[in-house]
Amino acid sequence: MAELKNTFGQSVAVTLFGESHGPAIGVVIDGLAPGIPVEEDFIRDQLTLRRPWGKLSTQRQESDLFQIVSGVFDGKTCGTPLTILIPNGDTKSRDYEKTRFLARPGHADYTAQMKYHGFQDYRGGGHFSGRITAALVAAGAVAISALAHRGIWLKTHILACAGVRDSSFAPEEQALKAQLEALRGSRFPVLDHAAGERMQAAAEAARQSRDSVGGVLETAVLGLPAGLGEPWFDTVEGVLAHALFSIPAVKGVEFGDGFALANLRGSAANDPLRMEKGRVVTGSNHNGGINGGITNGMPVVFRCGVKPTPSIFQPQQTVNMETGENVVLELEGRHDPMVVHRAAVVVDSVAALTLCDLLAMRLGVDWLAGR
C-alpha cells in the first residue's frame, strides 16, 4: 500500500490537493479500470450527505459544484487519472487575519506552524480543513459505485454520539444488508431513529453551551471476497486504518469487537466455522471478517472514534505563535458543533477507495470493471 504524503494507494491511488480558502480543492484517482460508469448525480448525492445543514453545522454555504476535468469519456472511466475539481466559494478570509498567530487548541495550527515554518495557508485551516474531505467524498462516490457493480456494499452509521447510543449492526448477513439499504441517503445515519433524535438534542444542548460533541461511527462492508490483504504490514486492518486516520478528528479505529476483545476469553472471541450452502461461514463475527490480516468472506466491520469538534466558543488558553505570549482565545466565525454525522460518508468514501486498491492489487486492474 504505497503512500506518498498526499497520495494513497498502489494500484488504485488517490491524490488530494487544495486549501480551504484557495481557488479550489480536488482529487486525482489513478488506476481505476477503464469502462466503469461515472454517474455525476451519485457524486452530487454523496456530496450532499457531507454538506453542512441544519443548526448543527457551520453556516458556510458550500455549493460543492464539481467539475470532472480528466479521466472520464462518454460517461465512463477511460483508465487514466480521473480528476475532480471543486472550486471554493463563500470564503470569508478576512475572519482569519485577527487570530492568524493564535494556535487554536485541538486544531493543527501549532503543528502546521512547526511543519511548514509559517508558510502554510492559515485561512480556514488551509490544507487541514475538513473541507478537503469533499474531494474525498467525490472520489469515493466513484469507488462506491464501482464496488456496487461488483456486489460489494458498504455503509456507516452513527453508533454513538454525545453519550447516546444507536443499535448495533445485525450479526446476520441478510438483516445487515437490509440495514445498509435503510441507511442509504440519510443525512443523519442511524439504525434507531429515536436514538438519532436524542443525539441531535444532545448536540444542540452542547451547541447552546458554546461547546461541541464527538461520537463513534460503525461501518459494515458486505460482499468482499475472501483472501484480500497481507499477513504483515498490508493487513486489511492496517491499510484501512492508515486511510481512516486521515479523516479529521478520528482518534481510534477498531475491527470486529475491537478493544472489547481484550476482556473476552479465547473461547468467546473465536468465531466457529461451518459449511453453509457450499460456502465457509462463521457463526459469529467477533473478528470483523478478518483473520491474520486477510478477509474471510464475512462482513468487514469496523468503528472509528471521532473526537468532538475542536472549534468551541468558550475562552481557551493558548499561545501567540508570533510573539510567544500566553493568551486567551475566543473564537468567532462559522463552525460545526458536531461533525460525526457528516463524517459518515467520508468514512464510506475512504474505505471504498482503499478496498478498490486492495482488490485491484490482488485480482488485477480490470477486475473492478468486471473483466
Q: Within positions 305 to 334, which residues make up the interface with a copy of itself, using CB under 8 A?
A: 305-312, 314, 316-319, 321, 324-326
Among 47, 254, 299, 368, binds a copy of itself (CB under 8 A): 254
Min dist. Cβ of residue 270 to a copy of itself (A): 4
Q: Does 299 bind a copy of itself (CB under 8 A)?
A: no
Of 178 and 260, nearer to a copy of itself (C-beta) is: 260
Pairing of strands 273-276, 279-282: antiparallel
- Of residues 131-190, which lie at the interface with a copy of itself (CB under 8 A)? 132, 160-163
Min dist. Cβ of residue 181 to a copy of itself (A): 26
Torsion angle of C-alpha atoms 241, 283, 222, 4, degrees rounded to 10: 20
- End-to-end CA distance of the chain: give it in Å, rounded: 23
Min dist. Cβ of residue 164 to a copy of itself (A): 10
340-363 vs 133-149: helix crossing angle, rounded to 10:
50
Of 182 and 320, nearer to a copy of itself (C-beta) is: 320
Of 173 and 182, nearer to a copy of itself (C-beta) is: 173
Min dist. Cβ of residue 235 to a copy of itself (A): 5
By three-state DSSP, how is residue 258 classified?
helix
Q: Which three cell numbers stand for residue 305?
A: 472514534
Choose one: 49-57, 61-69, 144-152, 183-191; the region binding a copy of itself (CB under 8 A).
Answer: 61-69
Min dist. Cβ of residue 185 to a copy of itself (A): 25
Among 55, 92, 100, 115, binds a copy of itself (CB under 8 A): 115
Distance CA 193, CA 30 (A): 38
Choose one: 93-101, 144-152, 179-187, 276-284; the region binding a copy of itself (CB under 8 A).
Answer: 276-284
- Residue pair 25/127 in contact (Cβ under 8 Å)? The answer is no
Going from the C-alpha of 224 to that of each of 78, 231, 348, the distances in angstroms are 25, 17, 15
Min dist. Cβ of residue 13 to a copy of itself (A): 5
Q: Which of 175, 117, 152 is nearest to 353 (CA)?
A: 152
Of 17 and 42, nearer to a copy of itself (C-beta) is: 17
Of 38 and 154, nearer to a copy of itself (C-beta) is: 38
By three-state DSSP, how is residue 199 classified?
helix
Distance CA 352, CA 1 (A): 15
- Residue pair 26/83 in contact (Cβ under 8 Å)? The answer is yes
Q: Which three cell numbers stand for residue 45?
A: 448525492
- Of residues 181-220, which lie at the interface with a copy of itself (CB under 8 A)? 206, 209, 211-216
Q: Which three cell numbers stand for residue 219?
A: 461501518
Among 48, 168, 179, 270, binds a copy of itself (CB under 8 A): 270
Distance CA 26, CA 68 (A): 10
40-50 vs 133-149: helix crossing angle, rounded to 10:
130
- Residue pair 306/340 in contact (Cβ under 8 Å)? The answer is yes
Print the binding letters for residues 73-112 with a copy of itself: x by CB under 8 A, - otherwise: xx-xxxxxxxx-x-----------------x-xxxx-xxx
# residues near a copy of itself by CB under 8 A = 164
- Strand-pairing partners, residue 369, are none
Q: Does 339 bind a copy of itself (CB under 8 A)?
A: no
